[in-house]
Structure 1
Amino acid sequence: MKFVDSNHSQFLARAMDSYTLRQRVTAGNIANADTPGFNKHRVDFEEELQRVKNSEGARGMKEVTPSIVETDQKIELEDELLEMADTQARVQLVTRSLRHHFEMMKNGITGINR
Structure 2
Amino acid sequence: MALFDAPVLQVLAKQLDAAALTQRVIAHNIANAVTPGYQRREVVFTDLLRRALDVDEGTLSLRTDHPRHLGGRQALAELAPQVVEQSGTLLQPNRNNVDIEQEMVRLATNTLLYDASIRALGDRLNTLSYTIKGR
Query: 2:5 — aligned with what?
Result: 5
Q: Percent identity?
A: 31
Map 1:6-85 to 2 at 5 A: 6-54=6-54, 55=61, 60-72=75-87, 73=89, 74-85=97-108
User: TM-score, normalising length from structure 2?
Assistant: 0.75
> Is this contact kept in 1: 2:52–2:76, CA < 8 A?
yes
Deviation at 1:70, TM superposition (A): 0.4
Deviation per residue, 1:28-80 (Å, 9 max, x gap): 00000000000110000001111222247898344321000001131100000
Q: CA RMSD in A?
A: 2.1
Higher Rg of the two aligned structures:
2
2-structure distance, mates of 1:29, 1:35: 10
Against the structure 1 CA distance between its residues 22 and 4, is the aligned structure 2 distance closer, same or farther, given a 3 Å change threshold?
A: same
CA positional deviation for 1:7: 2.5
Q: Which residue of 2 aligns with 1:108?
A: 131
Q: Which runs of 5+ in 1 are unaligned?
A: none
Structure 2: segments with no counterpart, 5+ residues: 55-60, 64-72, 90-96
